[in-house]
């Protein structure tokens, strides 16, 4: 059941990333998050109140605040990276790192790495190198977009590690509290940004409400399902299964945006997904 829930969360995350990244290309990542996060907060709150019972303890509240702070940073960096580079490159980079961080956290807490897990981590590192390479006439992904993707992957990995420490009796309240705290962080960041750029021209593109709301709902749903998966299985396993989300992002970007990848980059994407799968089966 834990693996199935983690796989469902990865599918939801991947679709949300595609929609959020597409919306961010039009009006900027911070503006999109200021709508998508509260929208997702409404959905996850309804689920917590009516469908998935849980206890809101002091520990649950503290973990929720911590996860919300780290999650807001991770998603802000991710949407910024997706808006600046090819989704088929940005998404696998974040996935590999977000899946590796919980493994490292588990190691620091006393868990041992099997040869299979070690091979998966090495493969993941090679995938990051290959997927970051540019060649031929393909659209170039800026270096800063790759840096943003790496930073995002590390932050999201931290978020998953924190969320995985949620009390078993909390239902999805940790994810719910985290979502509303993230929403507050994003709104404050947007207000500060707008005050600093009063003289700047406002975006002329129409705000993509449908994409932003759908992305927020799917992302919140993924967070809730992942918390349930982490309560039922090992963090190192469910986190890496959850990191398979680029499969959905890459496929949507390939068929809807017609993004093209070089052969080297395609090998990197395949290796990234293979590494995530290997770690999940370990």
Give the structural domain span for 118: 2-198+207-281
* Whole-number Å distance between alpha carbons of 16 and 1: 23
Which of 228, 229, 222, 220 has the alpha carbon at shortest distance from 280? 229
**CB 176 within 8 Å of CB 54:** no
Q: Is 26 exposed, middle or buried (0-12, 13-18, 19+ CB in 10 A)?
A: middle
Which of 156, 165, 194 has the alpha carbon at shortest distance from 76? 156
State the pLDDT at residue 219. Answer: 94
Token representation of residue 43: 């959905």
Kindly report the three-state secondary structure assignment for every residue of 129-184: HHHCCCCCCCCCCCHHHHHHHHHHHHHHHHHHHHHCCCCCCCCCHHHHHHHHHHHH
* Whole-number Å distance between alpha carbons of 163 and 159: 6
* Whole-number Å distance between alpha carbons of 32 and 52: 28
State the pLDDT at residue 88. Answer: 75
**CB 261 within 8 Å of CB 106:** no
The terminus-to-terminus CA distance of the chain in angstroms comes to: 16
Q: What is the pLDDT along the chain (282 residues), one digit of tens a residue?
A: 777 898 899 889 989 989 998 998 888 888 899 999 999 999 999 999 999 989 999 999 999 999 999 999 998 898 888 888 887 788 788 888 888 888 888 778 776 767 887 787 788 778 777 776 655 455 566 888 889 999 999 999 999 999 888 998 999 999 999 999 999 999 998 888 877 766 455 555 688 999 999 999 999 999 999 999 988 887 877 887 887 787 788 778 878 888 777 788 788 878 877 877 776 666
State the pLDDT at residue 75. Answer: 86
Q: In sequence order, which residues have a C-beta less than 8 Å from that of residue 215 and are 6 or more positions away? A: 16, 17, 19, 20, 23, 32, 36
DSSP state of 198: T
State the pLDDT at residue 47. Answer: 95
With DSSP H G I counted as helix, E B as strand and the rest as coil, what are the percentages for the chain, rounded to 5?
Answer: 80, 0, 20
| Cα dihedral across residues 281, 158, 148, 256: positive or negative | positive
Q: State if pTM tops 0.85.
A: no
* Whole-number Å distance between alpha carbons of 236 and 84: 30
State the pLDDT at residue 279. Answer: 65
State the pLDDT at residue 202. Answer: 54
Token representation of residue 253: 């970007």
* Whole-number Å distance between alpha carbons of 134 and 115: 31
Q: What angle do CA 244, 249, 251 make, to 5 degrees?
A: 105
State the pLDDT at residue 139. Answer: 57
Helix axes 87-108, 143-163, angle to 10 degrees: 40
Q: Which helix (H) or strand (E) holds 78?
A: helix 58-84
- Indicate the number of domains in the chain: 1
């Amino acid at each position: 059941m834990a693996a199935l829930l983690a796989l469902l969360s990865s599918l939801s995350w991947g679709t949300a990333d595609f929609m959020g990244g597409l919306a961010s290309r039009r009006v900027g990542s911070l503006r999109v998050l200021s709508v998508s996060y509260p929208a997702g907060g409404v959905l996850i709150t309804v689920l917590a109140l009516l469908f998935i019972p849980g206890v809101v303890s002091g520990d649950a509240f503290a973990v929720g605040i911590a996860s919300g702070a780290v999650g807001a940073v991770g998603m802000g960096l991710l949407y910024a990276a997706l808006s600046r580079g090819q989704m088929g490159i940005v998404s696998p980079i974040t996935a590999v790192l977000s899946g590796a961080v919980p493994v490292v956290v588990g190691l620091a807490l006393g868990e041992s790495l099997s040869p299979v897990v070690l091979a998966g981590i090495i493969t993941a590192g090679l995938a990051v190198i290959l997927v970051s390479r540019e060649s031929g006439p393909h659209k170039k992904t800026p270096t800063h977009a790759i840096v943003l993707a790496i930073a995002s992957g590390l932050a999201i990995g931290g978020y998953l590690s924190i969320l995985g420490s949620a009390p078993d009796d909390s239902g999805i309240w940790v994810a719910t509290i985290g979502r509303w705290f993230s929403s507050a962080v994003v709104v404050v960041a947007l207000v500060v940004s707008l005050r600093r750029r009063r003289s700047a021209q406002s975006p002329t593109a129409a705000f993509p409400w449908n994409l932003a709301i759908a992305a927020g709902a799917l992302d919140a749903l993924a967070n809730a399902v992942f918390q349930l998966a982490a309560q039922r299985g090992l963090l190192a396993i469910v986190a890496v299964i959850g990191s398979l989300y680029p499969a959905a992002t890459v496929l949507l970007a390939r068929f809807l945006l017609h993004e093209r990848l070089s052969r080297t980059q395609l090998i990197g994407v395949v290796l990234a997904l293979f590494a995530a799968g290997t770690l999940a089966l370990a």
